[in-house]
Structure 1
Amino acid sequence: MGAFIIKRLFQTIAVLFFVTLIVFMIIQILPGDPAQTMLGADASQEQIQKLREELGLNDPFIVQYFNWAAGVIGGDLGHSIFYKETVINLMSSRFPITLTIGISALIVTVIIGIPLGVIAAVNRGGAIDSVVVVLSNIGIATPNFWLGILGVYFLSLKLGWLPVQGYVSPFTDPIGGLKTIIMPVLVLAATTIASVMRQTRSAMLEVIHQDFIRTARSKGLKERFVIIKHGLRNALIPVITLLGLQLGNIIGGTVLIEQVFNIPGMGSLLVSSVFMKDFIVVQACVLVIAVLVVFANLFVDLAYRLIDPRIKYN
């Protein structure tokens, strides 16, 4: 186990290096000049060149990258070009918002997707199974941002049940905060719920016809116990794998969701920084997202052993 974790950590470092290097390269070749953006259209070439020297923008690409990477290792994510404050301070108020929405969407996915998938598999060919299959196909094919626009139109503008936009922390105002995150969380989780439902149903259909399930039933065990204890536990491996992969979609989906609902999270910060060519902030946001996704997949690999003790790490 220890050797496996160490190996994966080295792989994580390599992945983060290449991700940030590629993103840094893409930002560099985008049109526009950060110094020009900061100083405005009326700035002279002398002022622009002076600021570029101060920011290190005239250094070779690889020098700029490793200067930034050295700062990150030392705990310094840099200083925003556009917002004119440290990136850590800038992200400290936005990252918890994105994390709250993302984790809530993942919890909703697990609570809704897995039980519905199990129920559909147990009632294969029935009405419930048909409804789950249709809903899962619709959910996978429907873009999140379109669901968000529909939600705003019907639930907010027409019915007035939920706020149109904005964010209130549930920790400061539980009722108001809950109202502001219900729609973003459900919209963000919709596609993931559909994928998990379909994967759980497929995995359960393979398991419930195995010999050990028939043996458990022949012992007189209750059907609920057989399905949950023996069936679901053995069917969870592919579902857990899918959840690890879907976490990237959830985090990436917050970029669109925060734009639709005007939520001041890390996704909206990333979008605005791209347009402003604030590559320091873009690099930091991509780094944080990459770290979350990579370590989530590491956790998924470790969770296999908890679900099935027979799995060995070599």
Structure 2
Amino acid sequence: MSLAWFARRLMLMVYTVIVVSMLVFAITQILPADAAQSLLGENATPEVLAALRTRLGLGDPAWLQYGRWARHVFTGDFGISMRTSLPVGPEMLAALSRSLLLAVSAILVTLAIAVPLGVVAALRQGRLTDTGVSLIAYLGVSLPEFVTATLLALLLADTWHWLPATGYVSPLEDFGDGIRHLALPVLTVSLILVAHVMRMMRSETLDVLKSDYIRAARLKGLPERTVVFRHALRNALLPVVTIIALDVGYLLGGIIVIEEIFAIPGIGRALMVAITTRDLPSIQAGALIMAATYAVTNTLADMAYAFLDPRIRYD
């Protein structure tokens, strides 16, 4: 992994975020929402509305408005929420931290479960273990998120009273209670991701085990454990890295259902509230922060590729 490649990849990431910021700004400009009206309310007089539009520069050309907004965003100022009259940046970053905590926890649980099960299913292809793992995978793929979340909440919270059904507590404030509140949503998301990762891991492990270098390793008399875990597993993990990188984007924006069911104030839920209330600064900030996080994740995935497979070199 050369320094030149890293610089190019970093520039591509910045370019992606800039393009997304233009698209987000353009979309919010055509929404049927009047920023001045939202700030002053329905009873504001036309004169007061006109004065505020002039002060905010809403009558300026779009490129000038974008430049002014981008300059503030570059300094960390995402504007003031029309709904709460509070700075948008801290609110959205706090929501992002909650979503990232949920996402990272779910990914770690997923890897701990899906990778071993996928490898075992591949090693026992056609046997009862393989059939059982495949059945779990198909169930995980088939069940919608809200069904899985509802069933787990009814079973673990309402029936057995093992875990709280809803709410969020930061682990930094109360670690034990925070983990208990995260357990249900993390388990729900993990069950969905496990199905995808486990199927991919099984398929890739089977392909790698049929390759020439694995046959050569076995002919050398290497122990099966060494062949599987030292040679096969590392290459089988490459597509899993891609799946995980793509799932981060899904986890940040696509788990709004999970955040709604379990009342987790994450960035997906915050963005939906902003859209519902036509809070333009919050919409812009939320979409841009999610895009930037997704771009960073994909850059890290490319780096992980080079680490897992020394044959991959970025020049």
Which TM-score bucket, shorter chain as reference? over 0.9
Contact 2:253 2:267 in 1 (8 A): no
Separation of aligned partners in 1, 2:41 and 2:158: 38
Query: How many residues are aligned here?
Result: 314
What letter is aligned with 1:64?
Q
- The farther-off stretch of 60-69 and 298-307 is 60-69
How far 1:92 sits from its partner (Å)?
4.3
1:101 aligns with 2:95: no
What letter is aligned with 2:233?
L
CA gap 1:82/1:53 in 2 versus in 1, 3 angstroms: farther
What letter is aligned with 2:150?
I
RMSD: 1.8
What letter is aligned with 1:44?
T
SS at match of 1:84: coil
Separation of aligned partners in 2, 1:153 and 1:50: 54
1:305 corresponds to: 306
How far 1:157 sits from its partner (Å)?
2.5
The C-alpha deviation readout for 1:84-111, integer Å capped at 9, x for no partner, is 1212232343232112111111111211
* Percent identical: 39
TM-score, length basis structure 1: 0.93
1:15 corresponds to: 16
TM-score, length basis structure 2: 0.93
The C-alpha deviation readout for 1:48-95, integer Å capped at 9, x for no partner, is 333333333333332222211111222322222222121223234323
The C-alpha deviation readout for 1:190-241, integer Å capped at 9, x for no partner, is 3222111111111100111223223323333332222111110121211212
What letter is aligned with 1:169?
S
How far 1:167 sits from its partner (Å)?
0.3
1:50 aligns with 2:66: no
Separation of aligned partners in 2, 1:47 and 1:138: 58
Contact 1:81 1:280 in 2 (8 A): yes
1:64-75 to 2 correspondences below 5 Å? 64-75=65-76
- The farther-off stretch of 57-66 and 101-110 is 57-66
1:183 corresponds to: 184
1:36 aligns with 2:37: yes
Contact 1:21 1:65 in 2 (8 A): yes
What letter is aligned with 2:68?
N
What letter is aligned with 1:159?
W
1:249 corresponds to: 250
What letter is aligned with 1:80?
S
1:84-99 to 2 correspondences below 5 Å? 84-99=85-100
CA gap 1:130/1:305 in 2 versus in 1, 3 angstroms: same
CA gap 1:47/1:257 in 2 versus in 1, 3 angstroms: farther
Separation of aligned partners in 1, 2:114 and 2:300: 20
What letter is aligned with 1:158?
T
The C-alpha deviation readout for 1:166-207, integer Å capped at 9, x for no partner, is 101122212211111011112223322211111111110011
- The farther-off stretch of 199-208 and 286-295 is 286-295
1:231 corresponds to: 232
The C-alpha deviation readout for 1:10-33, integer Å capped at 9, x for no partner, is 221221122222222222222232
Separation of aligned partners in 1, 2:47 and 2:157: 51
Contact 2:76 2:89 in 1 (8 A): no
1:148-227 to 2 correspondences below 5 Å? 148-227=149-228
Contact 1:24 1:283 in 2 (8 A): yes
SS at match of 2:44: coil
What letter is aligned with 1:250?
L
Separation of aligned partners in 1, 2:129 and 2:44: 66
Contact 1:105 1:189 in 2 (8 A): yes
2:264 corresponds to: 263
Structure 1 unmatched runs, 5+: none
Structure 2 unmatched runs, 5+: none
Separation of aligned partners in 1, 2:267 and 2:154: 25
1:267-278 to 2 correspondences below 5 Å? 267-278=268-279
Separation of aligned partners in 2, 1:136 and 1:55: 53
1:121 aligns with 2:122: yes
Separation of aligned partners in 2, 1:107 and 1:14: 30
